[in-house]
Amino acid sequence: QSALTQPPSASGSPGQSVTISCTGTSSDVGGYNYVSWYQQLSGKAPKLLIYEVTKRPSGVPDRFSGSKSGNTASLTVSGLQADDEADYYCTSYAGSDKVVFGDGTKVTV
Amino acid sequence: EVQLVQSGGGMVQPGGSLRLSCAASGFTFAPFNKYWMTWVRRAPGKGLEWVASIKHDGTAQFYVASVKGRFTISRDNPKNSLYLEMNSLRADDTAVYYCAVMRAWPNSFDPWGQGTLVTVSS
């Protein structure tokens, strides 16, 4: 199972928005509404930001939002802050009892 | 607040074995034995990779193809603990390994343990 495709990097100035794409196929992203997004700060464990494409866990700011169109999911971070600088990963159920992660995107603020 | 504390890990020679543990606490909404659990790893310079997941009652286990037959995920519900037995270790198994709670299969991972480093090297 190949990793989902994410851009290696993205950047924005404080206060701006950045959108990260996560492209798969009809067998994973396009076929299921089990897309999640994670933030991994340097040296830390990943943290869940978005689950089931658009849902935010309690405690995650509404600056983080998720969406999906066809085989591509997206994470938008609005009102960028310095502490948003991190690696971001998408995941999707890929059928046949497998989960696949994206390559990861390094966001620079 | 759910907390996951990992132990085990370290350096091992190629072909060797290692066991990782993950102790869970702080479950209030539902007990540990109601949740699926997962192991995820991140190799040096690479991204996250799902490794294995286990059903809340231990009756089903799923693995990424590269570890199937070499790794075994298990759990001890009375002890609120998750394990990953790793055999026939290879250099490309070198990574930081994280345990995580799953909302359900095949849903998201939250929260995560602190991670433990496994180094396979001669």
Spell out the residues 6+ positions from residue B10 whose beta carbon is closer than 8 angstroms to its own: B18, B117, B118, B119
pLDDT of residue B28: 86
| DSSP designation for B80 | T
Tokens of A57: 């866990």
A2 band by pLDDT with thresholds 50, 70 and 90: confident
On whether the CB atoms of residues A20 and A6 are closer than 8 A, the answer is yes
Least CA distance to A105: which residue of chain B?
B47
pLDDT value at residue B68: 97
Give the closest of B47, B62, B100 to A98, CB-based: B62
Length of chain B: 122
Q: What is the pLDDT of residues B52-103, one digit of tens each?
A: 999 999 999 999 999 999 999 999 999 999 999 999 999 999 999 999 999 8
User: What pLDDT is recorded for position A92?
Assistant: 97
A40 CB-near residues (< 8 Å, 6+ apart): A46, A47, A86, A87, A88, A89, B48
CB spacing of A38 vs B111 below 8 angstroms: no
Tell if the CB–CB gap between B107 and A104 is shorter than 8 Å. Answer: no
User: How much is the pLDDT for A1?
Assistant: 60
pLDDT in tens, A49-85: 999 999 999 999 999 999 999 999 999 999 999 999 9
pLDDT on residue A96: 87
d(CA B2, CA B53): 18
pLDDT in tens, B8-39: 999 999 999 999 999 999 998 889 989 999 99
To the nearest whole Å, the CA of A103 is away from the closest chain B CA by 6
Instruction: Measure the CA angle with vertex B26, ends A51 and B55; round to 5°.
Output: 55
Which residues does residue A108 pair with via DSSP β-bridges, in sequence order?
A11
**pLDDT band, residue A18 (cuts 50/70/90):** very high
3-state secondary structure of B91: helix
Provide, as residue numbers in chain A, all residues whose Cβ is less than 8 Å from the Cβ of B114.
45
